[in-house]
Amino acid sequence: MRVLLEETGEMFQVTNCRSDMTVRELKEELDLTAGIPLDLQRLQYLDQGIWMDDTTLQFHDVVPGGIISLCVWRHDGWTELVLAAVEGDPSKKSYFLSSKHQQEELPASRACPMLSCLGVDEDSLYQTANSQRLEHKQRKAWIAHRVFVALYVTSHRGHSDAVQYLLEHGASCLSRSPMGRTALHAAAAMGRLDCINHLLNYGASINEKDARGETPMSLARRLNHRHSEQRMFFFYWMAKSGTTDPKNLTENKVLLRAKSKSGSKKSQV
């Protein structure tokens, strides 16, 4: 099944679809395939309205090869934030959506760095109708949610500069999507080595399980991103050995040490 992210024009392929697959199940797949947390997704097909989570593909008469439309919720500035994260360059000018949902560049007088002006740090002046009513503690939670979504999307798309920027401005690499996935899950699923490095350096865990019991390591293995799996394995054994400087521990030595320990355990059995 093909899914079109309307705001960006990106097309994603979802495999193993079934006629009795629920919309919720499809959103769970797209959480990782499209890199959009499922709570921000709106799905529709042809001229039908927005799908309810408990309905099925068969109920909506989706035909094989049909294209499902994926849109990002526009309330509270989410569409603008996701577009900025997909673009991935925190130094570029900001954009807004016209009435026809097309991207248009802001006038120079209103231009500002994309991610930095969209409510992803406490110093941001960005506001929405909703955020204006929030008290200080609620606003902090609102910002934390926004910066995580930006980190999740930029990690998925492989924008290492944007990932570094967000981490430096307080993004938590331990935050999770509704599917229990961290930004490292997104980067590992797509084989984004530079993003994986940044996330690991800021304390991301390779052992965190999502709602389906998959870790970033197991995702990389299942999706055949061998180099991503090896990089996370390398960091894991660096931590186990107490080494903080990768120059003091080559990847080959780490792998040999791991294999040696694995072999000794088998011989004991």
Instruction: Dump pLDDT digits (tens) for 143-159.
Output: 999 999 999 999 999 99
Q: How far apart are CA 102 and CA 119, in angstroms?
A: 22
Is 38 in contact with 73 (CB distance < 8 Å)? Answer: no
Is 98 part of a structural domain of the chain? no
Is 173 part of a structural domain of the chain? yes
Q: How far apart are CA 239 and CA 237, in angstroms?
A: 5
Question: Which CATH number fits the domain that encloses residue 141?
Answer: 1.25.40.20
Question: Which CATH number fits the domain that encloses residue 28?
Answer: 3.10.20.90
Q: What is the mean pLDDT of the segment spanning 172-201?
A: 96
Q: How far apart are CA 137 and CA 27, in angstroms?
A: 30
Locate tokens 């929030």: which residue? Answer: 134
Task: Please name the residues in contact with 136: beta carbons below 8 A apart, sequence gap of 6 or more.
Answer: none
pLDDT of residue 225: 95
Is 34 part of a structural domain of the chain? yes
Max mean pLDDT range (60-64, 98-102, 108-112, 239-243): 60-64
Shared domain check, 256 and 124: yes
Shared domain check, 138 and 13: no
Q: What is the mean pLDDT of the segment spanning 83-98?
A: 64
Is 79 in contact with 14 (CB distance < 8 Å)? Answer: no
The answer to whether residue 11 scores a pLDDT higher than 70 is yes
Shared domain check, 170 and 226: yes
Q: 18-32, 80-94, 189-203: which range is least confident on average? A: 80-94
Identity of the residue numbered 224: N
Domain around 237: 118-263
Instruction: Dump pLDDT digits (tens) for 18-32.
Output: 999 999 999 999 999
Q: State how many domains the chain has.
A: 2
Instruction: Dump pLDDT digits (tens) for 115-135.
Output: 778 888 888 888 899 999 999
Is 88 part of a structural domain of the chain? no
Q: How far apart are CA 141 and CA 173, in angstroms?
A: 15
The answer to whether residue 261 scores a pLDDT higher than 60 is no
Percent of the chain with pLDDT over 70: 80
